Structure 1
Amino acid sequence: MSTPGSLNGRNRILFPTLPRGEVVATFESYPEAQEAVDVLARADFPVDKVSIVGSDLKSVERVTGKLTWGRVALAGAASGAWLGIFFGLLLVIFSPTVSLAFVLAALLLGAGFGMLWGIVSYAVNRRRRDFTSVQQVIATSYSVLVDSELGNRARNLLASGGAEQQQPAAPAGWTPPAQPQHPSDPPPAPPAAAPPVAPPVAPPAGNDNPPAPSA
């Protein structure tokens, strides 16, 4: 009987959950999303808080060519030759008395068996599948997610290409205020600088005598 702790740990491995956070950028291809994460990494951003999520997955099968007897025989011989070389070298490593001629014989035997197996398989499946293809699972879009408290910093880094934006210098004599209690509260603005004081205006020169009083 399994304990609840081990069962919960196994469920976390078998059924992973989607990452939660804030979408800072969306791209059409995975290399573009990977380049965005590289930009954040070069800027010393905590990349362990970043995830790439692909949306709208599609299975794509690309046809690479048509199967023929010659291509089937050549592909089977190549795969069999690699397998023969592997076993031949393995025996040479563990049995120093075995000569390299055994490796050549294993190569030829592997190529022959591989060619035979490929021809037999093609003869059986020829009616159902007469072409070669490569299957891929791709997404329509790729989103870069970060933790909510790091969303603004990630956007600024991606917009500036990884360079941190410098904050404007504070005026002389201004002390930074206390940090807000909640991260979402905007910080207070610095006080406005005092207007310059105009110098005193001197009296006009050339008239030193005061005016005479009237009778």
Structure 2
Amino acid sequence: MTHAFSQPVFSPTSQAPGLPTMPTGWPIGSYDTYAEAQRAVDHLAGKDFPVQDVTIVGVDPLLVERVATRLTWGKVLGGGAMSGAWFGLFVGVLLSLATPGPVFTPILIGVLSGVGFGLAFAAANYAVMRKRRNFISHSQLVARRYDVLCQPRNAENGRNLLAQLAMSGRHDL
């Protein structure tokens, strides 16, 4: 007698869709920037290379946080007022569509209320966070180098094509 559950749904060797997996393939090129690696793959694609066998791998990832500016009460309150005004405008427009009478009254009330709440929330947040973080920054994930990998069946051809690209010295692809 066979049961519906006699076959494993998920075995240790299978991968669930969407889960990260280690890249496979042989290295056919290594580049200092992602743009250079992307240019190499574009070159392969232009030579009718089967690019579905290619993977770009960032090696030694780094999280880089670039500081943009120092926070001040003026910047914080200005940003809070603007974001509150936009949200208030959105709510006011929605209310004006559902409210009979003058169209601008709900919009004006929404914008003014949004500015007030935006100022209050921004001030409260900044007052709490100010001692721990007094700047704005932007984070970016970068790698020390970018390797281009290819499945073994096409690796030699890919390596030859990338060597031709390197010898041509073209950087405008």
- Using the aligned pairs only, state the percent identity: 42
What is the DSSP-based 3-state SS (H/G/I as helix, E as strand, rest coil) of the residue aligned with 1:64? strand
Give the Cα separation in 2 of the matches to 1:100 and 1:43.
60
1:6-36 deviation digits (Å, cap 9, x = unpaired):
5769953464221211111111111221222
- Matched to 1:81, the amino acid is A
The verdict on how the C-alpha distance between 1:26 and 1:6 changes in structure 2, with shifts beyond 3 A counting, is same
1:92-130 deviation digits (Å, cap 9, x = unpaired):
66x485825433432332222112111111111111111
- Matched to 1:32, the amino acid is E
Q: Select 2:53's aligned residue among 34, 37, 49.
A: 49
Give the TM-score, by structure 1 length.
0.63
Give the Cα separation in 2 of the matches to 1:66 and 1:114.
20
What is the DSSP-based 3-state SS (H/G/I as helix, E as strand, rest coil) of the residue aligned with 2:59? strand
Structure 2 residue runs without a partner (length 5+): 166-173
Q: Higher relative CO (CA 8 A, sep ≥ 6), structure 1 or 2?
A: 2
What displacement does 1:62 show? 1.2
Write the mapping of 1:153-192 to structure 2, written as runs, cut at 5 A.
Answer: 153-161=157-165
RMSD after superposition = 2.8
- Matched to 1:19, the amino acid is P
Q: Select 1:127's aligned residue among 127, 131, 135.
A: 131
Partner of 1:22: 26
- Matched to 1:128, the amino acid is R
- Matched to 1:118, the amino acid is A
Q: Structure 1 or 2: larger strand share? A: 2
Give the Cα separation in 2 of the matches to 1:46 and 1:17.
21
Give the TM-score, by structure 2 length.
0.76
Give the Cα separation in 2 of the matches to 1:61 and 1:122.
20
| Aligned: 1:143 with 2:152 | no
The verdict on how the C-alpha distance between 1:127 and 1:146 changes in structure 2, with shifts beyond 3 A counting, is same
- How many residue pairs align between the two structures? 159
Q: Structure 1 or 2: larger helix share? A: 2
What is the DSSP-based 3-state SS (H/G/I as helix, E as strand, rest coil) of the residue aligned with 1:135? strand
